[in-house]
Structure 1
Amino acid sequence: MTAYVVIDLDVDDPAGFQQYVDAVTPLIEKAGARNLLIDDDCLTLEGDWRPPTLVIHEFPSKEAVRAFWDAPEYQPLKALRRRHSTVRVVVGEAGRPGH
């Protein structure tokens, strides 16, 4: 079932973060995923969640997300991302039975 990675992104150093984007994009594509949304002006309708930038990626499944997240080649990129940004990341799966 399709899984969606929702990221609350706050970039501290845009030039440094671009290095991460350039390196991670091929890994995302290799995982069979795609970027659906990057919005630095999202609309909050209720509550106090106001991500500086909202990012959504679509993966084939939660298992594909986990494989990407845990992949050895992604580990140094996580460190690079953490140097230049702060994120909150959650994953949801579409079409779960009973939902």
Structure 2
Amino acid sequence: MSAYVVIDLDVDDPAGFQQYVDAVNPLLEEAGARNLLVDDDCLVLEGDWRPATLVIHEFGSLQAARAFWDAPAYQPLKALRRRHATVQVVVAQPR
């Protein structure tokens, strides 16, 4: 069953963050993930959540998403991302 990683992304340094994007996209592809959405102009219908940029990735399963998150190859990229952006990340799957 698919799992969806939902990211509330706020980029502090676009040039630095681009290094992360360039490095993470091949890893996402290797993990079988698809980038479903990147939107920096979400329409808020209710509530006070206002993501600067909303990103959604689809993985084949919750286990695949977790394996990607914990993969040794991804760890240095997390550090790179944290230098150039602030994120809130959740993963969920349909029930």
Question: After superposition, what is the alpha-carbon deviation per residue over 1:28-61, rounded to whole angstroms, capped at 9, x for unaligned?
Answer: 0100101000000001100000000000000001
Give the match's secondary structure for 1:15: helix
2:60 pairs with 1:57: no
2:17 pairs with 1:24: no
TM-score, length-scaled by structure 2: 0.99
- The Cα RMSD (Å) is 0.4
**1:1-16, aligned counterparts within 5 Å?**
1-16=1-16
CA distance in structure 2 between the partners assigned to 1:91 and 1:43 by the alignment: 21
Quote the residue 1:68 is aligned against.
Answer: 68
TM-score, length-scaled by structure 1: 0.95
Give the match's secondary structure for 1:72: coil
2:18 pairs with 1:41: no
> Quick one: percent identity of the two aligned structures?
82
Q: How many residues align?
A: 95
CA distance in structure 1 between the partners assigned to 2:3 and 2:26 by the alignment: 19
Please identify the structure whose Cα radius of gyration is greater. Answer: 1
